[in-house]
C-alpha cells in the first residue's frame, strides 16, 4: 500500500517536472553559526536562463555550489533531472568567477581538461575542444598560456571548457564580473545566442540588475542572509526582441526599476 502510494507520487512529480531541469527544495545551509540559506526553494526551467540576483553575501555562490555538488546543504534537496544531487556530475558544468584555469596548461589543455578528467582519449577530446575554442572566438590561441591572455579571453577559455563537456546545466558564478565593460556587453550578447542555440539550462549569478534583466528568462531575487527567494521575475517580453534594442525597451527599463525598488532597502 505504502509502496503504491510512493510510486504514484513519483509519477506525478516526474510529470510535473518534465520541463524543470533543476529543482531546489527547502535548502538550508549553515556555515558554523552563519546561516547562509534558510529553507530556499526554486525551480529552474529546462532550456532557459535563470539569474540569481541579490546583495553581496546573500548566498548566491553558496546556492550555486550546492547545485554543483561542491557543497552539501545542511538540509533540503536538490534534484537535477529528477535525480538527487550527491556530488558533482557530468550533467552539470561550472564557470568560475576567477576563471580557474590551470596556469601551467595551454588553452587547448585547459579547454579539454573536463574531458581529460572524464577519460576521453586525447585526439578525441582535442577535436571537441578545438571546436569550442573556435566557437568562443579563440582560434589561433590553442597553444597560448593563460597568463598570455586578457581577462576576457581567459573567461572564454573557462566557458569553452564548460561547453565542451556538453553538460545539460551550466552553472555560472558571476562569470563576467572580472572583465571590462565592453567585453562584458559582448559576452552578454553571446550568452543570449548561446541560450537560444544550445538546449541547455543556465543558472547565472550576477550582481548587476541590468545584466540580469538583459540575459534572463527568469530572475530569482534573493534577500540578505539567511537567504530565501523573495521574488521571481520573468522578463518574457524581452526575449522576443532584438538584442541590440533591449536596453532602450520600456519593459526593460521598468523591470530594472522594479527590481531596484525592491532591493534598495537592503543596501546600506
Partner 1 sequence: MKLFGVRLPAMSSLLIWGLLWELIGRAEFSFFVPPLSQVFSTLFEIFGTKAFQSALYETAYAFISGVFFAIVIGIPTGIFMGKNRLLDELLLPWVNIFLSAPLTALVPVLMVLFGFGMKSIIITTTLFAIWIIILNARAGVLQINRSLVEMATSFGASPWDAFTKVYVWAALPEILGGVRIGVIRAVKGVIIGQLLISIAGFGALFELYSANFLMSHFWAVLIVLFGLAFTISEFLAYLERRVSYYAAKR
Ligand X SMILES: Nc1ncnc2c1ncn2[C@@H]1O[C@H](COP(=O)(O)OP(=O)(O)OP(=O)(O)O)[C@@H](O)[C@H]1O
Grid coordinates of 159: 566557458
Q: Decide if residue 58 touches ligand X (CB under 6 A).
A: yes
Instruction: Give the integer Cα–Cα distance in Å for 56 and 203.
Output: 17
CB of 20 to ligand X, least distance (A): 23
- Degrees to nearest 5, angle at CA 182 with 177 and 185: 70
Tell me 142's DSSP state.
T
Residue of the chain from 12, 34, 102, 127 that contacts ligand X (CB under 6 A): 34
The residue from 17, 30, 61, 183 that contacts Mg ion (CB under 5 A) is: 61
Residues between 64 and 83 that touch partner 1 (CB under 8 A): 65, 68-70
Least distance (Å) between residue 147 CB and partner 1: 5
Minimum Å gap between C-beta 114 and ligand X is: 23
In whole angstroms, give the CA distance from residue 180 to residue 193. 20
Burial of 239 from C-beta contacts in 10 A (0-12 / 13-18 / 19+): middle
Cβ 55 to ligand X shortest distance, Å: 7
Stretch that binds ligand X, among 8-16, 60-68, 187-195, 251-259 (CB under 6 A): 60-68
Range in contact with partner 1 (rule: CB under 8 A) among 49-57, 100-108, 204-212, 232-240: 100-108
Q: Does 177 bind Mg ion (CB under 5 A)?
A: no
Is the Cα torsion angle 107, 126, 155, 54 positive or negative in sign? Answer: negative
Per CB under 8 A, does 93 bind partner 1? yes
Residue 140 interacts with, from Mg ion, partner 1, ligand X, none (CB under 5-8 Å by kind): none
Length of the chain: 268
Decide whether 32 or 250 has the Cβ nearer to ligand X: 32
Q: Which is nearer to ligand X, 42 or 128 (CB)?
A: 42
Is 85 a residue that touches partner 1 (CB under 8 A)?
A: no
d(CA 126, CA 123): 5
Interaction between residue 154 and partner 1 (CB under 8 A): no
Minimum separation from the CB atom of position 247 to partner 1 (A): 31
Q: What is the nearest approach in angstroms of partner 1 to the Cβ of residue 40?
A: 21
> Rounded to whole angstroms, how far apart are CA atoms 52 and 204?
6
User: Residue 132 belongs to what H/E stretch?
Assistant: helix 122-135
Q: Report how far apart the first and last C-alpha atoms of the chain are (Å, whole number).
A: 55
Task: Compute the least distance from the CB of residue 42 to ligand X, in Å.
Answer: 14
Cβ atoms within 10 Å of 156's Cβ, excluding its own: 26
Q: How far is residue 212's CA from residue 230's CA, in Å, rounded to a whole number?
A: 16
Q: If you search the block for the grid coordinates 549569478, which residue do you land on?
A: 205
- How many Å apart are CA 69 and CA 74, to the nearest integer? 13
The residues binding partner 1 (CB under 8 A) are 65, 68-70, 88-90, 92-94, 96-98, 100, 102-104, 113-114, 116-118, 145-147, 161, 165
The residues binding ligand X (CB under 6 A) are 31, 34, 36, 56-62, 207, 225
Amino acid at each position: 500500500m505504502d509502496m503504491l502510494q510512493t510510486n504514484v507520487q513519483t509519477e506525478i512529480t516526474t510529470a510535473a517536472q518534465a520541463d524543470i531541469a533543476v529543482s531546489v527544495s527547502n535548502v538550508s545551509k549553515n556555515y558554523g553559526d552563519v546561516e547562509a540559506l534558510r529553507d530556499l526553494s526554486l525551480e529552474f526551467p529546462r532550456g532557459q536562463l535563470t539569474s540569481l540576483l541579490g546583495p553581496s553575501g546573500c548566498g548566491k555562490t553558496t546556492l550555486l555550489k550546492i547545485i554543483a555538488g561542491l557543497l552539501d546543504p545542511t538540509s533540503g534537496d536538490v534534484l537535477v533531472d529528477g535525480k538527487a544531487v550527491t556530488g558533482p556530475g557530468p550533467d552539470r558544468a561550472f564557470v568560475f568567477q576567477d576563471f580557474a584555469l590551470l596556469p601551467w596548461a595551454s588553452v587547448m589543455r585547459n579547454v579539454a581538461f573536463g574531458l581529460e578528467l572524464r577519460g576521453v582519449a586525447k585526439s578525441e577530446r582535442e577535436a571537441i575542444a578545438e571546436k569550442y575554442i573556435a566557437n568562443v572566438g579563440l582560434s589561433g590561441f590553442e597553444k597560448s598560456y593563460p597568463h598570455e591572455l586578457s581577462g576576457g579571453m581567459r573567461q572564454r577559455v573557462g566557458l569553452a571548457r564548460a561547453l565542451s563537456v556538453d553538460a545539460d546545466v551550466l552553472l555560472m558564478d558571476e562569470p563576467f564580473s572580472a572583465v571590462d565593460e565592453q567585453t562584458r556587453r559582448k559576452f552578454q550578447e553571446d550568452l543570449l545566442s548561446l541560450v537560444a542555440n544550445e538546449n541547455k539550462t543556465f543558472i547565472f549569478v550576477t550582481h548587476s540588475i541590468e545584466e540580469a534583466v538583459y540575459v534572463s528568462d527568469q530572475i530569482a531575487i534573493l534577500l540578505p542572509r539567511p537567504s530565501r527567494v523573495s521574488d521571481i521575475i520573468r522578463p518574457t517580453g524581452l526575449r522576443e526582441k532584438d538584442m541590440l534594442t533591449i536596453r532602450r525597451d520600456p519593459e526593460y527599463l521598468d523591470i530594472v526599476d522594479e527590481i531596484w525598488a525592491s532591493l534598495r532597502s537592503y543596501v546600506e
